[in-house]
């Protein structure tokens, strides 16, 4: 391990342990973050997106609100307001880490949740949610390579180069969470969004390009727990999307990868940097 890696590692550990104060939202937001493919997508911090399909259905990814300093919806009491995301028809969970599993149990058990809400997730995490009292009819397991139709969208689970476990903030051994994953979400015919989950860059991203041709890629850039800007820019060269949106940076864990650095390194895709809560259409 190179010596200069230590300070960054220590920063990550300290941030995780103490969940320090909020880091600011990205300073240089894209003034006109438009894609024009008939869907609407809102970044809610970390890997949490609210995607509204052309058919008017709502899909959430990795819905982490409580403790997510970038989550933009707050109630009068200053606490995270989950009512803004209770209209979900589907929720996709990439892996079990607390900033991805997030508030899915609370949403799934809420009387305000839609009757038809489906949660798509790896089988090991499904069993945990079931044990926690989430109605089994809401739960849809997928394995990597598997496809399911939810909320009028075709959802394929794809691999990620990461770990997965279910745990809390404290020093307690976590539960096994199966394999970490990403998703390709077809929101309209041939309009596909790739949500990478947490991952390093990996050569099979070429396969994701060849099989799915995603037009939009949502990629982690924060470093420490995932790839940083340089590696993520390499991932873009394998995935060949037309648009790319960075995620999993700054925020609660103060992940150091910056969207400006990422933007500088990406050559053949348009990088869109939304502020949390800003819609991309």
Residue 97 makes contact with Zn ion by CB under 5 A:
yes
Site for Zn ion in 111-130 (CB under 5 A): none
- The smaller minimum CB distance to Zn ion, of residues 39 and 71, is found at 71
Least distance in angstroms from the C-beta of 143 to Zn ion: 19
**Residue 183 to residue 145: CA distance in whole angstroms:** 10
Least distance in angstroms from the C-beta of 201 to Zn ion: 15
Least distance in angstroms from the C-beta of 100 to Zn ion: 6
- The smaller minimum CB distance to Zn ion, of residues 50 and 97, is found at 97
Size of the site for Zn ion (CB under 5 A): 2
- The smaller minimum CB distance to Zn ion, of residues 153 and 180, is found at 180
- The smaller minimum CB distance to Zn ion, of residues 97 and 118, is found at 97
Q: Is the dihedral of CA 161, 166, 171, 173 positive or negative?
A: negative
Least distance in angstroms from the C-beta of 20 to Zn ion: 19
Residue 248 makes contact with Zn ion by CB under 5 A:
no
**Residue 1 to residue 9: CA distance in whole angstroms:** 11
DSSP letter string over 77-112? Answer: TSSB-GGGGTT-SEEE----SHHHHTTHHHHHH-TT
From the number of C-beta atoms within 10 Å of its C-beta (0-12, 13-18, 19+), residue 44 rates as buried
Least distance in angstroms from the C-beta of 207 to Zn ion: 22
Least distance in angstroms from the C-beta of 225 to Zn ion: 6
Encoded one letter per residue, x for contact with Zn ion by CB under 5 A and - for no contact, window 171-210 reads ---------------------------x------------
**Residue 76 to residue 55: CA distance in whole angstroms:** 32
Stretch that binds Zn ion, among 18-26, 49-57, 75-83, 90-98 (CB under 5 A): 90-98
**Residue 212 to residue 252: CA distance in whole angstroms:** 32
- The smaller minimum CB distance to Zn ion, of residues 33 and 256, is found at 256
Let me know: does 120 contact 92? Beta carbons within 8 Å: yes
**Residue 187 to residue 185: CA distance in whole angstroms:** 6
In angstroms, what CA-CA distances link 233 with 26, 207, 245, 270?
18, 17, 11, 12
Residue 161 makes contact with Zn ion by CB under 5 A:
no
Which residues are at the interface with Zn ion (CB under 5 A)?
97, 198
């Amino acid at each position: 391990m190179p010596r200069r890696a230590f300070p960054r590692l220590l920063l990550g550990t300290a941030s995780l342990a103490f969940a320090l104060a909020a880091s600011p939202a990205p300073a240089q937001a894209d003034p006109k973050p438009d894609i024009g493919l008939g869907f609407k997508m809102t970044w809610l911090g970390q890997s949490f997106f609210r995607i509204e399909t052309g058919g008017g259905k709502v899909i959430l990814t990795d819905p982490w609100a409580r403790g997510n300093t970038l989550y933009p919806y707050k109630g009068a009491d200053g606490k995270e307001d989950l009512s803004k995301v209770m209209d979900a028809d589907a929720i996709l969970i990439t892996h079990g880490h607390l900033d991805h599993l997030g508030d899915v149990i609370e949403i799934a058990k809420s009387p305000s949740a839609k009757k038809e809400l489906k949660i798509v997730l790896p089988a090991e995490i499904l069993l945990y949610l079931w044990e926690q009292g989430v109605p089994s009819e809401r739960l849809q397991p997928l394995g990597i390579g598997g496809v399911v139709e939810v909320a009028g969208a075709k959802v394929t689970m794809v691999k990620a180069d990461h770990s997965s476990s279910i745990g809390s903030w404290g020093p307690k051994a976590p539960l096994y969470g199966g394999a970490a994953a990403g998703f390709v979400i077809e929101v309209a015919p041939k309009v596909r969004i790739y949500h990478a989950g947490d991952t390093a860059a990996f050569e099979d991203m070429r396969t994701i390009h060849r099989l799915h041709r995603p037009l939009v890629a949502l990629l982690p850039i924060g470093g420490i727990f995932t790839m940083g800007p340089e590696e993520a820019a390499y991932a873009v060269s394998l995935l060949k999307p037309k648009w790319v949106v960075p995620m999993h940076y700054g925020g609660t864990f103060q992940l150091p990868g910056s969207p400006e650095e990422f933007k500088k390194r990406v050559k053949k895709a348009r990088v869109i940097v939304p502020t949390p809560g800003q819609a991309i259409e």
